[in-house]
Homo-oligomer: A and B are copies of this chain.
Amino acid sequence: MTGTPASSVLFPRVAFIGIGLIGSSLARAMRQHGLVGTIACHTSSDGSMEHAKELGVVDEVYRSAAEAVRGADLVVLAVPIGANAACAEAMASGLKPGAIVTDVGSVKQSVIRDVSPFLPDSVAFVPGHPLAGTEHSGPDAGFAELFISRWCILTPPPGTPEAAVARVRALWEAVGSKVDVMEPGHHDRVLAITSHLPHLIAYTIVGTADDLASDAKQEVIKYSASGFRDFTRIAASDPTMWRDIFLNNREAVLEIVQRFTEDLTALQRAIRWGEGEVLFDLFTRTRAIRRGIIDQGQAYGSGIAPPPVPEKVE
């Protein structure tokens, strides 16, 4: 791109494998901040690739992953995590020595398991997970501001060169994120509670409502104020991505679902037996947690000020 200050370029050549919501947002953000010279791309859908090029999100498209990554300083795996092994195998022969491979998947242990075996020793692997997204999919849905004020967690396996981690950290900070580094298994357990379980619950409750008689369904939609409505937004997340997340973070998800089910059954019992104090004590405790989150500046996301009119809760 003309006019890109040489000092801001972090990676002269970047290759994206996959160019959906996350990939195209990162590509746009890298352009916007002058962090990259040339962006190459390969994805399984020819249509998506061409469209991304038409949009100006990427410069060059390739029908093979190995060609796409040739000469790349940074390779970003941005496919559904179930496709990682195949992509890593396909691209490996094209990687140049000293290249950095990173990803954006929502589970880390399985990504390391799937990708590491195919990478030459001369290539550094810095797995990452930007905690960002919307209910939409595809290269049209991406936007450069997606990662601003969001966390990005990096989970380099033992032995990853510090310099490579530092460069990937610099990338995410330059597009507006805060960066933390943690052990991959720990990441998977934390995300199981903050993200995977909430999504599973949202999917479930929307499905339960959908199974009601059809006239009841219409009313559920009609009166779906905040509460149920929030669940529908979460349950509109990309089906492929989320199928892969649950299948690839099985142990942590099953553990936390089990805890959740035990707790819900205890409440169900308290309701059946009219044990008001049990309910009241829990509801008081959870209100305090909300106050803690507000204090941490997390309540409204992105560090923005609370809306002037309080958010409505049904």
| Cβ-based interface call for A311 (8 A) | yes
CB distance from A124 to the nearest CB of B (A): 25
Judged by DSSP, the binding face of A is helix
| Cβ-based interface call for A118 (8 A) | no
Q: Are A284 and B219 in contact (CB-based, < 8 A)?
A: no
- CB 8 Å contact bits of A219-231 with B (1 = contact, 0 = none): 1111111111111
Choose, from A44-52, A60-68, A158-166, A235-243, the stretch at the interface: A235-243
Q: Are A254 and B225 in contact (CB-based, < 8 A)?
A: no
CB distance from A133 to the nearest CB of B (A): 5
Q: Assuming A247-B271, A309-B143, A312-B133, is B232 touching A293 (CB within 8 A)?
A: yes
Q: Are A310 and B210 in contact (CB-based, < 8 A)?
A: no
Q: Are B247 and A195 in contact (CB-based, < 8 A)?
A: no
Q: Are A223 and B254 in contact (CB-based, < 8 A)?
A: no
When all copies of this chain in the complex are counted, the total is 2
| Cβ-based interface call for A121 (8 A) | no
How large, as a class, is the contact surface on chain A?
35 or more
- Give the contacts of A112-137 with B (CB-CB under 8 A): 131-136
Choose, from A34-42, A88-96, A97-105, A255-263, the stretch at the interface: A255-263
Complex CA distance for A207 and B288, rounded to whole angstroms: 11
- CB 8 Å contact bits of A269-289 with B (1 = contact, 0 = none): 001101010011011111101
Complex CA distance for A271 and B247, rounded to whole angstroms: 6
Q: Which residue of B lies closest to A136 (CB)?
A: B310
- Chain B residues lying within 8 Å of A28, measured Cβ to Cβ, are none
Q: Are B206 and A193 in contact (CB-based, < 8 A)?
A: no
| Cβ-based interface call for A6 (8 A) | no
Q: Which residue of B lies closest to A250 (CB)?
A: B271
Q: Are B267 and A313 in contact (CB-based, < 8 A)?
A: no
Partner of A272, one of B254, B296, B301: B254
Choose, from A7-15, A71-79, A168-176, A197-205, the stretch at the interface: A197-205
What are the nearest 7 A-B pairs in CB distance? A236-B290, A239-B283, A235-B286, A198-B227, A134-B310, A206-B286, A243-B279
